[in-house]
A and B are shown apart, each in its own frame.
Chain A
């Protein structure tokens, strides 16, 4: 009986472990390759960190640096050279500007919309909500071309605006926050009205603080999606390298004379991924705090 129980359990765990490995192995390889030398990467040797022998890197000298400068341990070289080759801080900054602006404007628009859809009674509310649901079904790629044409006509291609404007109205955000607001008791809103708040004050001073856990969930979706987005920046940023977002920046490492040097390339990918992982860990902690803080059932 007990043995059979364990067999049943281990079967489930085995399956889950395989799933976890499929997700984690690319991460492992990314970190490992960002630390090892080119020879170790190509010969698939050296385990996680490699031997870390001090050596001179030929690609480095080809770029015109002295041999003395180009002699160091592989992990140091990979990261140093990644930052030398592309303005990674600039790309990270662009990513930050774009994702934060998108998220803030999305909240600015989604909160009043979802409040109205959840808590105000007006004619056509159900229709408007069904339109929101309909918009959820439209894939980005279907409207990419018309959007690009519009932005091009407005002269906005190769600007931050082109990266931000198309994403400012998030139907997903409206939908998510509306569902959350439905669970907020009407009495709280009535109390705020009795206290003399207008509808906008209610949105920003009552609903926003109450909705922080839901907003954090939305923030994870929104920031991850736009930080990692390659498709849209690739379309609207045509020439200006100063506007490259991190995924576009990584592309810099492909092609050219040193196209097969994986170490610095992986180092740049690690650099781009780390902010997201840190943000996620921080948000996850706040997420739990947010729920306990509200004191709502």
Chain B
């Protein structure tokens, strides 16, 4: 079992509030990502779950047990750190053994020399050896067991750190940006490996990242945190397609979502940049913001479609996609439009007509709340 729930967690360092009344329920076996910009309190939240940091108020409940006053090691959680935090003076094997020895050996058995004479230690040592071997096989690090962390590459250290977390068979894994020290190609590769690992272990994963791509690709649910508040907790596709507020919409998705000022007429129809949305909205506001993702805009040659003119100022060619940064109305207002490479390249300085490819767009209050 690995259900974790947080109830009204508050945390402040001095006078800075880091977490504000945060509540979160994590289900057994899910891959939950805590995602948010740097400094939003996500790592602090993870440390509070781990027991490395004490909340000012609120409860942490693991498997229906309140663990507020339980020490980190007794919570039966395992953590993977950004810098891997392997013991630099121990071999990988010893690194993996350490948490097991500390958990399974009694005080006397742990003593150097004397411990060897305690008969019960032999049996325990064997089960530890088996576990270490099994874990190293799963992670394919068996041939690295006798090396020290200093002799490993980044990816290998990452695996060793995962191994140290796995050997204990904890109720949940806590991961604090574990991939951010790897190079880009390895990071993408490790993403799929972590997902596979989660599928085979079926243990709860709580994964902290500032990289929304990691959150979108790996998680069963993602929790978007900004400024110490939990803004939305949902599946990645829901968060992407149906964000609850403008802040979530702007944080999730790359390139960033485009926003336009819009007028709402009394019958609820919405118009921006000369384009009228098909759907009508039920709101009292007269001004609002329309948000459209770059892939929902298109460069059109069809003069019948409602569209607005803009000048291409910068072109980002990613191979599979091309993003055009375009300037509207000679002003500083810039938006990003996705074009397909098949349509042919458009050079900088050209004037294009931009329309909505999907008739739908999201509408937000000027304060940021979603209008549905």
Contacts and interface: CB of A to CB of B under 8 A. Distances in A.
B88 A187 contact: no
Contact of B50 (A194, A201, A209, A210): A194
Given A194-B73, A195-B99, A296 B52 contact: no
A187 B85 contact: yes
B85 A190 contact: yes
A294 interface: yes
Contact of A209 (B86, B89, B150): B89
Nearest to B152: A295
B98 A195 contact: yes
Interface in A23-54: none
Contacts of A210: 88-89
A293 B176 CA distance: 26
A196 interface: yes
Interface string A187-222: 110111111110001000010011010000000000
A209 to B, nearest CB: 4
The main secondary structure of chain A at its interface with chain B is helix
A295 B85 contact: no
B148 A293 contact: yes
B357 to A, nearest CB: 45
A292 interface: yes
A196 B88 contact: no
Given A187-B82, A194-B72, A293 B89 contact: yes
Contacts of B88: 209-210, 293-296
A180 B86 CA distance: 18
Contacts of B82: 187
A190 B47 contact: yes
Interface in B306-327: none
B150 A194 contact: no
Contact of B78 (A187, A194, A209, A295): A194
Interface residues of A, number: 21
A139 interface: no
A119 to B, nearest CB: 12
Nearest to A188: B85
Interface string B60-88: 00000000000011100111011101111
B116 interface: no
B148 A194 contact: no
A185 interface: yes
Contacts of A294: 88-89, 150
B83 A185 contact: yes
Interface of B: 47, 50, 52, 72-74, 77-79, 81-83, 85-90, 98-99, 102-103, 148-151, 164, 176
22 contacts: A187-B82, A190-B79, A190-B81, A191-B81, A191-B85, A191-B86, A194-B79, A195-B98, A195-B102, A195-B164, A196-B103, A201-B102, A210-B88, A210-B89, A292-B150, A293-B148, A294-B89, A294-B150, A295-B88, A295-B149, A295-B150, A295-B151
Interface of A: 185, 187-188, 190-197, 201, 206, 209-210, 212, 292-296
Given A185-B83, A294-B88, 18 more contacts: A187-B82, A187-B85, A187-B176, A188-B85, A190-B50, A190-B72, A191-B85, A193-B73, A195-B73, A195-B98, A195-B164, A196-B99, A201-B102, A293-B88, A294-B150, A295-B148, A295-B151, A296-B88
